[in-house]
Every structure is written in structure tokens, then in C-alpha cells.
């Protein structure tokens, strides 16, 4: 057992008994939404996983401990602290642990801690990717490297549409990461079901998702699998509206000199403002949708 890892009793019991567990990230709590919607959404996502027959494991770093499974009190703590909690990627883990500090896990660090705990399925909103203009800025999310290394299935609503989706797919292909469309041949783009880019394979059932990932694990192939699950039709935003808001947000970020890990939170907040809050509602619904699919897939796996 890794001495820095703390697995909650509920999650540990489920793992010991071979019952399905689904990992959840904590950046969406501290950096993704305002309080108290962040806490309410986190608890709703956990309940959705329970309702579909699996055990939720919200992952975070609290007091220098890698937590696989947070209590409602710990989720409340992260939600209230908000952006005072460090947004923790792979590079941040050694210092946060040494300082016994708190950290909200991104896709990258949630995958790392889930794999340490023996959790194979992870539900999130959207992954990071290659940012627009990366050919000059080299701004590429660590999520893509982690998908290439760590054996966890990530179920999301596609890459955030603030990214360069074409280059993100090219990068994942280079790294050997299978990109699956659940019930679709088109890569969903977070707030909207349509991007114009094709995924590697379409899969229509949790059983087949589990079978494909099991085969990957049993062959000993390195890395994870990316499952892109389109936002439900009734919450999908028209591509032209969301793209107009994203273009405006990116222009403002450039003008203000915002870069690095501050970019995504700034752009998402700006898009929410420009869409009159519709993007926040869409964000909540797509996370719940991904949690349902993750629970059903974990049961099959």
C-alpha cells in the first residue's frame, strides 16, 4: 500500500469484495462551479453512481493525503475553499504531499490516484487537450500524457470545445489511446454533441465498453481508454452559439495575457457569462450523464 494513499472504508470494502467503483475528480468542485452548486452537484453525481449500482470514489488531496473516496464533509470543505485549493496536476503532487497541503485533482491526478487504489473507471466532465495556438505556445494538457500511461478508462463528454479538437485527436492517436464514441461516430465537444471530427470506434453498450477495456488490460497494453459520451440531446447547446462565445472568450484571454493552468478556468467562466448561465446547466447534466454510463460500465467490468 502506498503510504501516501488513503482509501475510504466504503471504497476499500467495495474493492475487496470485487464490487464496481467509479472515480470522480475534485477540480470540478473547487474550480469548476460556484458554491454551493459545486457541492450539490458533487453529491448528486455520487448519488447517480449509487443509483446505478456502483460505489463512488471522489478523489482529492487533503492534508497531504491522496484520498480515494471523500466524505460529504470533505466535499463540503473543498467546495467552500474553492479556488484557494491548488489545482493539482502530476507535477504538483510531490510538493503538495511534502507540505501536507490540499489539492483538487484534475483528470491527470484523478487517474493516477485511481490507478494506485485499483479503480479502473473514472467519470468526469471533459478532458483537457491541445489548446488553440499550441503550435506556438506548446500548451498541451497533461491529461493526454496520462491517458497514454495510466490504465484507467475515462468517460467524458469529449474534449472541452475551447480546445483544438483536431490536434487533440491527432495527439491521442500518436500516443496510442483509443477514442471511443458511445452511441456516436462523431467526437462530442462538451457543451454540444457535434464537432465535425470522427472518433476511432463507435460502441453502443456498457458491455462492449467493458469488454474492450478488459482486452486492453489483459494484453498488458500501456495507458487508458477515452470514452466520449455526448451530452443528452435536450441539454446540447447549438454549436454556433457556443463557438461564438468561445471565440470571444479566447480573444479576451489573449488580451489579458492569461496562460497556463489559469486558461481553462478563465475560459469556462467567460463562456458561462456569455451564454447567460446555460453552459453551467449543460455542464451539470453532462457530468450526471457520464456518471450513469461509468457506473453501468464498471458493473460490467
Both 115 and 131 in one domain: the answer is no
Both 283 and 205 in one domain: the answer is yes
Both 179 and 96 in one domain: the answer is no
Both 140 and 113 in one domain: the answer is no
Q: Which three cell numbers stand for residue 77?
A: 470543505
State the CATH number of the domain containing residue 273: 3.40.1790.10
Both 214 and 178 in one domain: the answer is yes
* Residue % of the chain over a pLDDT of 70: 96
Both 107 and 158 in one domain: the answer is no
Predicted confidence at residue 18, as pLDDT, reads: 97
CA-to-CA distance for 212 and 153, rounded, in angstroms?
10
Q: Give the model confidence (pLDDT) of 220-277 as tens digits.
A: 999 999 999 999 999 888 777 777 777 787 788 778 887 766 776 777 777 777 666 6
The position carrying cell 470533505 is 74
Question: In sequence order, what are the beta bridge partners of 201?
Answer: 180
pLDDT top residue among 237 and 153: 153
Predicted confidence at residue 15, as pLDDT, reads: 98
Residues serving a catalytic function are 25, 160
Is residue 139 very low, low, confident or very high in pLDDT (cuts 50, 70, 90)? confident
Structural domain boundaries enclosing 210: 127-301
Q: Give the model confidence (pLDDT) of 94-115 as tens digits.
A: 999 999 999 999 999 999 999 9
Both 222 and 99 in one domain: the answer is no
CA-to-CA distance for 7 and 26, rounded, in angstroms?
15
Rounded to whole angstroms, what are the CA distances from 224 to 4, 172, 175, 214?
Answer: 23, 11, 10, 11
CA-to-CA distance for 297 and 188, rounded, in angstroms?
19
Length of the chain: 301
Both 50 and 160 in one domain: the answer is no
For 3, which DSSP code? T
Segment holding 22, helix H or strand E = strand 21-24
For the chain, give the mean pLDDT. 92
Domain count for the chain: 2
- pLDDT of 1 > 60? The answer is no
- Nearest Cα neighbor of 301 from 118, 116, 133 is 118
Q: Where a domain ends, among 76, 98, 119?
A: 119
Q: Where a domain ends, among 55, 89, 119?
A: 119
Both 225 and 138 in one domain: the answer is yes
pLDDT top residue among 13 and 249: 13
Rounded to whole angstroms, what are the CA distances from 63 to 101, 168, 230?
Answer: 5, 34, 36
Q: Where a domain ends, among 119, 139, 163?
A: 119
Q: Give the model confidence (pLDDT) of 39-59 as tens digits.
A: 999 999 999 999 999 999 999
Both 87 and 188 in one domain: the answer is no
Rounded to whole angstroms, what are the CA distances from 139 to 160, 163, 289?
Answer: 14, 10, 29
Is residue 200 very low, low, confident or very high in pLDDT (cuts 50, 70, 90)? very high
Omega within 30 of 0 (cis) for the link into 28: no
Both 297 and 170 in one domain: the answer is yes
Both 148 and 297 in one domain: the answer is yes
Q: Give the model confidence (pLDDT) of 160-197 as tens digits.
A: 777 899 999 999 999 999 999 999 999 999 888 988 99
Amino acid at each position: 500500500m502506498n503510504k501516501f494513499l488513503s482509501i475510504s472504508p466504503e471504497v476499500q470494502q467495495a474493492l475487496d469484495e470485487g464490487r464496481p467503483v467509479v472515480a470522480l475528480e475534485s477540480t470540478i468542485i473547487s474550480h469548476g462551479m460556484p458554491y454551493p452548486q459545486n457541492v450539490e452537484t458533487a453529491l448528486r453525481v455520487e448519488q447517480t453512481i449509487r443509483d446505478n449500482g456502483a460505489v463512488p470514489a471522489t478523489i482529492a488531496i487533503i492534508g497531504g493525503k491522496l484520498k480515494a473516496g471523500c466524505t460529504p464533509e470533505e466535499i463540503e470543505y473543498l467546495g467552500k475553499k474553492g479556488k484557494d485549493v491548488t489545482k493539482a496536476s502530476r507535477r504538483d503532487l510531490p510538493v503538495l504531499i511534502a507540505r501536507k497541503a490540499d489539492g483538487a485533482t484534475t483528470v491527470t491526478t484523478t487517474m493516477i490516484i485511481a490507478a494506485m487504489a485499483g479503480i479502473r473507471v473514472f467519470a468526469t466532465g471533459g478532458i483537457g487537450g491541445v489548446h488553440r495556438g499550441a503550435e506556438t505556445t506548446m500548451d498541451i494538457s497533461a491529461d493526454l500524457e496520462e491517458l497514454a500511461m495510466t490504465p484507467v478508462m475515462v468517460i467524458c463528454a469529449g474534449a472541452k470545445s475551447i480546445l483544438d479538437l483536431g490536434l487533440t485527436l491527432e495527439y491521442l492517436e500518436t500516443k496510442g489511446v483509443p477514442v471511443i464514441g458511445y452511441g456516436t461516430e462523431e467526437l462530442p465537444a462538451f457543451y454540444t454533441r457535434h464537432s465535425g471530427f470522427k472518433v476511432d470506434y463507435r460502441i453502443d453498450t456498457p458491455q462492449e465498453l467493458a469488454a474492450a477495456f478488459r482486452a486492453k488490460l489483459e494484453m498488458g497494453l500501456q495507458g487508458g481508454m477515452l470514452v466520449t459520451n455526448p451530452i443528452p440531446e435536450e441539454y446540447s447547446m447549438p454549436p454556433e452559439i457556443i463557438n461564438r462565445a468561445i471565440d470571444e472568450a479566447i480573444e479576451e484571454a489573449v488580451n489579458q495575457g492569461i496562460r497556463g493552468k489559469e486558461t481553462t478556468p478563465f475560459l469556462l467562466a467567460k463562456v458561462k457569462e456569455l451564454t447567460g448561465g446555460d453552459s453551467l446547466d449543460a455542464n451539470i447534466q453532462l457530468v450526471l450523464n457520464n456518471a450513469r454510463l461509468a457506473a453501468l460500465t464498471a458493473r460490467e467490468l
